[in-house]
Amino acid sequence: MTVRVQEAPFDMGAEVAAFSAAQAGMGAIVTFSGIVRDLPGGGLEAMEIEHYPGMTESALEKIAEEARRRFELGDALVIHRHGRLAPGALIMMVATAAPHRAAAFAGAEFLMDYLKSRAPFWKREITAEGARWVEAREADEEALSRW
């Protein structure tokens, strides 16, 4: 199980290849990547993501371990970036490996729902008009409630 919080970009293809190569005996691998999306109608200059080093990694490690136990995953990978990111930039990815696809998909969805609503990151949208903090969305909270 690997959790990384980093400012630097990552190569999703290389990450998936390395993760996959280490999954002997697993029957399924599921990956998901998140991309900084522009605002409706455009205008996003950047997304700034802040976190508390140490605390963030610890929180992500706990939820990744819970996913591993709950869904009997063979392995999990979580990468989340911080700092200033332009629209279109990869912001995060998760990968899960399990003996069967249902568990790999469920583990990935569980991790994604947690990352969207509970992970200790603070996001700020930067536009020509200024900056505003991104608030939690009700739909994200509802998605987390199914677990």
Domain count, the chain: 1
Q: The pTM is what?
A: 0.92
14-29 pLDDT per residue, tens: 999 999 999 999 999 9
CATH number assigned to the domain comprising residue 134: 3.90.1170.40
Whether residue 140 has pLDDT greater than 80: no
Full domain range(s) for residue 72:
2-146
51-94 pLDDT per residue, tens: 999 999 999 999 999 999 999 999 999 999 999 999 999 999 99
DSSP for the chain, written as a single string: -EEEEESS---HHHHHHHHHHT-TT-SEEEEEEEEPPPPTTS-EEEEEEEE-TTHHHHHHHHHHHHHHHHHT-SEEEEEEE-EEE-TT-EEEEEEEEESSHHHHHHHHHHHHHHHHHTSSEEEEEEETTEEEEPPPPHHHHHHHHT-
